Amino acid sequence: MKLLFFLLSLASFTYAQDSLRVSIGRVGSARDTLTQTQGGFVLAGGGKDVDAAMKWLLTRSGGGDVVIIRASGSVGYNDYLFELHPVNSAETLLIDSREKAMLPETAEKIRNAEALFIAGGDQWNYVKYWKDTEVSKAIKFLIEEKKVPVGGTSAGCAVLTEFIFDAQFDTVVSADALANPYAQAVGISKSFITIPFLKNTIADQHYSQRNRQGRHVTFMARMMQDFKIKNPKGIAADERTAVCIDAQGNAFVFGSGKAFFISANKKPTQCTPNKSLTWDQKDALAVWYYQATEQGTAAFNLNQWPTQKTNAYWSVKAGELVENVNH
C-alpha cells in the first residue's frame, strides 16, 4: 500500500511538473550567451512572415538567444529563425496560463533573451494570462534595461502598442464597429507592454485584406472619448508586411503590402452608444494617414509624426468610411 501511494504521489508530482513546463522546444546551443544588442521593434501584419523584417530583428540580437512566446501553437518559429540568420539558439515558450506566467523560471528565460518575438494567436489570451505577471515584468526589463529587439505578428503585434483591441468578446468587423462604436465586441484597453514610440497608439493587422480601416478609426475614436487621448495614433500593416522601428524612431517597411501611419487631432462629431460613428471636420482633416510600401530608406519617423507626410485622410459619415486622397 505504501509503495502504491509513493508511486501515485510520484506520478502526480511528475504530471504537475510537466503541466507547468513552459519550454516546448529549443534549437541551437543549450547554453545561453550574452551579446551586444540593439533595441528595435517589429510590428508584423500577419500571414506569411517577412524574411527581411525577421532578419532585421535577428541582426539586432547580435547573434544571441531568441525567445518566442505564445499561448497556443507549436515550435514552428524555432527552425525558421535559427536557419534564417546566425543566432546562438531559438526557443519557444508556451505560456498558456497565469500560473505559468508567474513562474520565476519563465521570467528568467525571457530575461536571458537577446531578441523576443510574440507569435500570433488570440490577443485576449495574452492579456488575461500575461498582464501584471512575471512575464510582463520580464518584457519590460528587455525593452527598458537590456534594450533588445522585440517583435510580434498578428495578435503578437496587437499587444505592442499602448492601446490594444483586446478581442475579449471575439473579433469585430469594420461595418459593425462603425455602426456602433460601443458594441460589446469593440473592446479597447491598455496593453501590458510599454514602448515609448508607441504611446497613445493602437495597432491593427491583416489590414487591407480584411478591410479593417473602419474598425481602426473606431478604435481611435474610442481612445479620444474614453481615455481622453488628444492625438490618438494608429499603425497598421497588411499581411506579409512589417514595420520595423529603430532606436531613433525611424520606421522601415518590409514586405509585399502596405503600412499605414494614422493620426487624429479633433474629436469625432458623434461617438456614442447605439449610434453610428460620425467624424467629419469639414475643412479640417478628420483622420489623416500616410501610406507606405517597402523602400530602401525609412518611410516615417515616429518622433515627428508630421502632418506634411499625409497623403490621404478618412472621414466617417453616418457609419460609412469615406476616403479622401486630395485635401
Segment 6-41, tens digit of pLDDT: 444 444 444 344 568 999 999 999 999 999 999 999
CA of residue 219 relative to chain centroid, distance: 15
Strand order in the sheet with 201-204: 188-190, 163-165, 201-204, 233-237, 259-263, 287-292, 312-317, 320-324
When computed from its CA atoms, the radius of gyration of the chain, rounded to whole angstroms, is 21
pLDDT in tens, 39-53: 999 999 999 999 999
Q: What is the pLDDT of residue 300?
A: 92
For the chain, give every residue range classified as CATH 3.40.50.880: 36-160
The three cell numbers locating residue 176: 459593425
What's the whole-number mean pLDDT along residues 168-172? 97
Q: What secondary structure does DSSP assign to 63-103, as a single string?
A: T-EEEEEESS--SHHHHHHHHHS--SEEEEEE--SHHHHT-
How many Cβ atoms are within 10 Å of 102's Cβ, its own excluded? 16
Q: What is the pLDDT of residue 294?
A: 96
What's the whole-number mean pLDDT along residues 70-91? 98
The string over 65-90, giving b where at least 16 C-beta atoms fall within 10 Å of a residue's C-beta and e elsewhere, is bbbbbbbeeebebbeebbebbebbbb
**CA–CA distance, 3 with 1 (Å, rounded to integer):** 5
Q: How would you classify the pairing of strands 287-292 and 259-263?
A: antiparallel
Q: What is the pLDDT of residue 284?
A: 65
For 86, the 3-state DSSP assignment is coil
- Which neighbouring-strand residues pair with 259? 237, 292
The three cell numbers locating residue 268: 469625432
Q: How would you classify the pairing of strands 89-94 and 65-70?
A: parallel
Q: What is the pLDDT of residue 313?
A: 87
**CATH architecture, domain defined by 36-160:** 3-Layer(aba) Sandwich (3.40)
Judge contact between 299 and 311, C-beta under 8 A.
no
Which pLDDT band, with edges at 50, 70 and 90, does 326 fall under? low
For 75, the 3-state DSSP assignment is coil
How many Cβ atoms are within 10 Å of 55's Cβ, its own excluded? 15
Residue 128 has pLDDT above 80, yes or no: yes
Q: What is the pLDDT of residue 20?
A: 81
Which pLDDT band, with edges at 50, 70 and 90, does 305 fall under? confident
- For a pLDDT cut of 70, what percent of the chain falls above it? 91
How many Cβ atoms are within 10 Å of 182's Cβ, its own excluded? 16
- Which neighbouring-strand residues pair with 204? 236
The three cell numbers locating residue 104: 520565476
Measuring CA to CA, which residue among 105, 106, 47, 40 is closest to residue 71? 106
Q: Fill in the amino acid letter for 238.
A: D
Q: What is the pLDDT of residue 16?
A: 40
Measuring CA to CA, which residue among 237, 281, 239, 285 is closest to residue 263? 285
What's the whole-number mean pLDDT along residues 169-193? 97
Average pLDDT, the chain: 92
Which pLDDT band, with edges at 50, 70 and 90, does 308 fall under? low
**CA–CA distance, 254 with 87 (Å, rounded to integer):** 21
How many Cβ atoms are within 10 Å of 235's Cβ, its own excluded? 27
Lowest pLDDT segment from 46-55, 75-84, 96-105, 314-323: 314-323
pLDDT in tens, 209-251: 999 999 999 999 999 999 999 999 999 999 999 999 999 999 9
Q: Which residue has the cell 474598425?
A: 215
What's the start-to-end Cα distance of the chain, in Å? 84
Instruction: Output the pTM of the full model.
Output: 0.92
What's the whole-number mean pLDDT along residues 115-142? 98
Lowest pLDDT segment from 142-151, 162-171, 274-283: 274-283
